Structure 1
Amino acid sequence: MTDHPDLIELVLPDETATVELGEDLALALQAGDCVALWGDLGAGKSTLCRALLRAVADDPDLEVPSPTFTLVQSYDLRLPVSHFDLYRLADVSELDELGFDEALSNGICLVEWPERAGKALPKSRIDIRFQFSKEGGRVVLLSGPEAKLTRLRRILQIRRFLEDNGFDHASRRHLTGDASTRAYEHIYPANGDARLVLMDAPARPNGPPIRDGKPYSQIVHLAEDVYPFVAIDEALRMRGFAAPAILATDCDSGILLLEDLGTEGVLDAAGKPIEERYRASAACLAAIHDSPFEREIALRGGWVHVIPDFDRPAMKMEVELLLDWHLPWKRDGVPVSAAERESYLNIWDNLIDELATVEKSIVLRDFHSPNIIWQGERTGHDRIGLIDFQDAMIGPSAYDLVSLVQDARVTIPRPLMDQLMADYLALRNRTADFDEATFLKSWAIMAAQRACKLNGLWVRLLKRDGKPGYMRHMPRTLWHLSVAFEHPVLAPLRRWCAEAGIELPESAA
């Protein structure tokens, strides 16, 4: 690969290389991308399109007929893709009849013979130009807006990472993305070895400073690169817990190759909790909390990760989401008053003071259904695969039990919630210095802290980020707050919420 400021030049020696490029592009493209493919007959345009479509479909046998006569062939896949062949286009106006603009608004458009479209294609497109090479094979030039070229450079960088670590010609497939800048791929080694997982996690860009000169991510201690993941992964594995083995790293670039723990979770086909798996998860969590973790974790190369504290600024920043987003939404845009804010934060200062003497341990932070992998062939705590812990902190151990039994995205019926609490407490009570009453107080405080954060976060995702789907969780997380309020330590916050007009359901929706 030759990387120029405004284009990328690749040499594709054979059809296999063209197929690999198509598969890689399937990981880089997003809805709204138009890809114009330029080149003579037999240059490789159709081969690349076919590979890209099969990769998006994750189906090597997907039928991909040529759209030469139909002019367009559409595919309803993970991302909708429309494959245009404009060789027989009689007039540019026919693009409207073919539904080009609608297809581009909903998904990806691949366009062969783009020269027939004149100036009708978007200026923000990605151009891929195929040229025959004198040495055989093809030379391919990729160009487009810088933001799109950045995506293409990233997927090609990952391809080089795989090759540098002995995974030449591995097949790559989209696995998932999460709410951060991270994305994940399934990697299928060319030699047929077991499937792997690749974490693509470029360094988190800092947002604007919002308090004490720090951005939100630093105040609440979100990982800014992959070093914390590597550190916590090694610490968990040293203690016998089932975090994935790390097989290759480029930590500076934010690329990790991991053992694949599988895709079987703790929910049934209907999305309901499987009791056995949840109870095993509670037992695993009790074992984690019975295991001491050093605050400083030394890694190869001299790098040291210091696990941050779940401190007062982090807790208060999160609970302020209720003030800044939930209540204004409920009040049709009217913000909370200065007096309400002061009273609310004073209550939280007092609650955080109550946590001074409670048990502290490592807090994985998101110990809930999306991040728990079931490995039923095992018999110990390693039945519970752990995959999301880069934001781990040192804080009240009760927080992770809240995450499990008050899953933000899955309704845990009250009887099962109570059973999980009883299981956990029975295991922890075997430890002589475990204080159940103090733990239950901290559980109630952390349940309220998490619920206040989430009930504000759902509205922020709706209003700021245009993601209304998360609002369906609000009845559940409001119910979680009402459960937390059963503990007398939360009486002041319960009264404040009632006076503020926050309505709490008696049970989850």
Structure 2
Amino acid sequence: MAEIDAFLARHGLGGHARTPLAGDASSRRYERLQDPSGESLILMICPADTLPALDAFLAIARHLTGLGLCAPHIYALDRAAGLAVLEDLGPTQVAQWAEAHPGDIAPYETAIDVLARLQSAPPPQGLAALTPGLGAEMIAPLGEWYAPGLDLAPLREALQRALERHAPTASVLALRDYHAENLIWRPEHHGTDRIGLLDFQDALLAPPEYDLVSLLRDARRDVSDRLRAAMLARFAETTGRAPAGVEAACAVLGLQRNLRILGIFARLAKRDGKTRYLALMPRVWGQIRADLAHPALAELRPHAAAIPAPPACSRGDRFMTTQGTPSAIMIFAAGLGRRMGPLTAHRPKPMVEVGGRPLIDHALDLTAPLMPLRRVVNLHHRGEVLREHLQGRDVILSDETDKLLETGGGLRKARPLLGPGPVYTLNSDAIWSGPNPLTALKRAWDPSRMEALLLLLPRENALGHTGQGDFLVDAEGRLSRGPGHVYSGAQIIVPDGLDAIPEDAFSLNLLWNEIAARGRLFGVVHDGRWCDVGRPDCIPLAEEMLQGTHAV
């Protein structure tokens, strides 16, 4: 502390107010220095083991400013002490601006223009190069920290081949951590000067799409498919690259980055106690699944299937379950209800009454013990009737009026409304007796082993159901397909894998198949009865069951 005070005093900054700034994944620290007039600078504090990174920061900063780009000017430096005073480029990250101005894409457009300018000039000498071999080796933390014991060799070999095909040449300077929290938005400036550049000490030579992937496959915030597509097109146009080649390179580089990031985030949590990075893992996993869907990565899919999905967690000593408890429910209410005949001619099936109340109200009743819970209901057929009925209720509507998306597509569409992490899903066309099905699922949910937990019934307790059953249950609760227990329409599921399914409208069966192949599809048997209200003749069965004990 005294060394810092003396450094600041030597440079006439001893009287500045000092405010710590949020840290990053490194051991560096930052403070904002502010004089009485409000003018500010940034103090960078580098531990002794990071001095080479300080040297790299200074060299890259000189290169960037030489290109006319906005990197911090260095006002004071004590290299031996690891202290530097930098220009304060501004208080507003691109991430903060985008959160407050979701329709303004100018920061992202300008960030693409910065990449085009950066790549138009020869890179500095002496930098490491991200060759396909090095890129494949860099996923080592995945096996060391995220999935210990996982044999990475087949995945690494397939990844190297994909990099050799689609991103073979490390030809440009990549700043490496080029994402919205490391970019400062300066709307009062012009051209590329509107983007301030930070945190580039790990820069290296890489394929041209590397920083583009860092920007658009952001581990810290969602980038919409529409914005991503527009920025890919802008990058291709400004750099003169073929759009198809850009997309393929982004897919393989995105996979390489995010496989490494999973391992790095696990290490930060487990070794360094920085558990906030665990909350970012589901987004990273979703991006991995999305990139694996690209045709360029077809060879990699079988090898990536062995990687477990990240259970959400809250502590770094092990992947825990606190954050894995669902905080939202998707109630499926968009079906056509054709089997109901005239009963659904002028109303959706969830508005069919059982015991004097609409089915949707029975479904919402089941959520009461779990409140506060974000409740999302989708609608399609006669959706205006359901919308009017739910008006003023604590319910969010996911509108599928234009196209019925089935259970998988409907859940994927609703994900922005549901929020991150696992969710409950519940079919609205059923009546229950016995224990509350949602609380039963909550008690049995174990995200360290499960990506989906389905609530099942013996056939004799499934009223109105005419099939032979859906699943077989082994001694540990894992599910496989076959005649046996009946799926009730209630579950907890991690929905991240939906992003990789190319169809618009599809059944959740597709995701279940993938989860089952990883050994993470489980079931628990309901200790009560259930009635499938899918036909008019099922209504009296359900009403008779209601005369007994209702689900509590």
**Structure-1-length-normalised TM-score:** 0.57
For residue 455 of structure 1, what is the amino acid of its counterpart?
L
**CA deviation digits over 1:180-239, x for unaligned, max 9?**
12111111246x47211111112326xxxxxxxxxxxxxxxxx73411111000100010
Q: 1:254 & 1:309 partners in 2: Cα distance? A: 26
Note the C-alpha offset of 1:346. Answer: 1.7
* C-alpha distance in 2 between matches for 1:389 and 1:442: 22
- Does residue 157 (structure 1) correspond to residue 149 (structure 2)? The answer is no
- Pair 368,178 (structure 1): closer, same or farther in 2 beyond 3 Å: same
CA distance in 2, matches of 1:458, 1:394: 23
Evaluate the alpha carbon distance shift between residue 463 and residue 364 of structure 1 in structure 2; reply closer, same or farther with a 3 A threshold.
same
Q: Do residues 506 (structure 1) and 326 (structure 2) align?
A: no
Structure 1 pair 169–464 and aligned structure 2 pair: CA distance change class (3 A): closer
Structure 1 residue 352, shift from structure 2 partner: 3.6
Equivalent in the alignment of 1:195: 40
Give the corresponding residue for 1:418: 229
Mapping 1:93-492, distance limit 5 Å: 155-189=1-35, 192=37, 194-204=39-49, 224-268=52-96, 271=99, 274-295=104-125, 306-311=126-131, 314-328=134-148, 335-336=149-150, 340-354=151-165, 357-358=168-169, 360-429=171-240, 434-492=241-299
Give the 3 Å change call, closer, same or farther, for CA 501–228 of structure 1 in structure 2.
Answer: closer
**Superposed CA offset, 1:367-403 (max 9, x none):** 1011110111111101000011011001112110001
Q: 1:381 to 1:311 in 2, by over 3 A?
A: same
Superposed CA offset, 1:31-65 (max 9, x none) = xxxxxxxxxxxxxxxxxxxxxxxxxxxxxxxxxxx
Supply the distance in 1 between the matched residues of 2:57 and 2:123 (Cα, whole angstroms). 15
User: C-alpha distance in 2, partners of 1:407/1:439?
Assistant: 17
> 2-side partners of 1:257 and 1:278: how far apart?
28
Q: Flag the 1:346–1:163 CA change in 2: closer, same or farther, 3 A.
A: same
Mapping of residues 58-69 of structure 1, within 5 Å: none
Change (3 A) 1:311 1:255: farther
Instruction: Supply the distance in 2 between the matched residues of 1:160 and 1:196 (Cα, whole angstroms).
Output: 17
| 1: CA distance, partners of 2:253 / 2:182 | 20
CA contact (8 A) 2:173 2:206 kept: yes
Q: Is the 8 A contact 2:258 2:287 kept in 1?
A: yes
Letter matched to residue 202 of structure 1: P
Q: Could you say if the C-alpha distance between residues 173 and 412 of structure 1 is closer, same or farther in structure 2, counting changes exceeding 3 Å?
A: same
| Contact residue 351 and residue 445 of structure 1 kept, 8 A | yes
Distance 1:169 1:474 in 2: 42
* Higher mean displacement: 274-283 or 369-378: 274-283
Paired amino acid for 2:105 = E
Indicate if the aligned counterparts of 2:53 and 2:202 stay in contact, CA closer than 8 A: no
Q: Distance in 2 between matches of 1:485 and 1:281?
A: 26
Contact (CA 8 Å) 1:358, 1:442: kept in 2 or not? no
SS of the residue 2:262 aligns to: helix
SS of residue matched to 2:95: coil
Contact 1:225 1:254 in 2 (8 A): no
**What one-letter code is carried by the residue in structure 2 that aligns with 1:239?**
L
TM-score between both structures, scaled by the size of structure 2: 0.53
What secondary structure does 2:19 align onto?
Answer: strand
User: 1:366–1:403: 8 Å Cα contact kept in structure 2?
Assistant: yes
- Counterpart of 1:261 in 2: which secondary structure? coil
Alpha-carbon distance in structure 1 between the residues aligned to 2:152 and 2:158? 10
How far apart in 2 are the matches of 1:259 and 1:189? 14
Distance 2:139 2:69 in 1: 31
* Change over 3 Å in CA distance of 1:355–1:428 after alignment to 2: same
Report the CA distance between 1:496 and its aligned residue. Answer: 1.2
Distance 1:463 1:383 in 2: 38
Partners of 1:342 and 1:357 lie apart in 2 by 20
Match of 1:133 in 2: none
Q: Measured at CA, do residues 252 and 492 of structure 1 come closer, stay the same or move farther in structure 2, by a change above 3 Å?
A: same
In 1: Cα distance, 2:210 partner to 2:275 partner: 27
CA shift at 1:437, angstroms? 4.1
Tell me by how many angstroms 1:476 deviates: 1.4
The answer to whether the Cα contact below 8 Å between 1:172 and 1:186 also exists between their aligned partners in 2 is yes
Q: Residues of 2 paired with 1:457 and 1:506: CA distance?
A: 24
Moved more, 493-502 or 360-369: 493-502
Query: Unaligned stretches of 5+ in structure 1?
Result: 1-154, 206-222, 296-305, 329-334
Percent sequence identity over aligned pairs: 32
Contact 1:165/1:248 (CA < 8 Å) preserved in 2? yes
The whole-number CA distance in structure 2 between the counterparts of 1:176 and 1:260 is 15
Say yes or no: does 1:495 pair with 2:325.
no
On the 8 A contact 1:181/1:204 being kept in 2, the answer is no
SS of equivalent to 2:48: coil
DSSP-derived class of the 1:204 partner: helix
Distance 2:129 2:105 in 1: 32
Between the two proteins, the alignment pairs up a number of residues equal to: 313
1:441 deviates by: 2.9
Equivalents in 1 of 2:97, 2:187: separation in Å? Answer: 16
Q: Give how far 1:309 is off.
A: 1.7
Coordinate RMSD, CA, aligned: 2.5
Q: Which amino acid aligns with 2:218?
A: D
For 1:170 and 1:469, how far apart are their aligned partners in 2? 31
Structure 1 294/435 Cα, relative in aligned 2: closer, same or farther at 3 Å? farther
2:249 aligned partner, one-letter code:
S
Do the aligned residues in 2 keep the contact of 1:173 with 1:185 (CA within 8 Å)?
A: yes
Determine if contact 1:271/1:410 at 8 Å carries over to the other structure: no
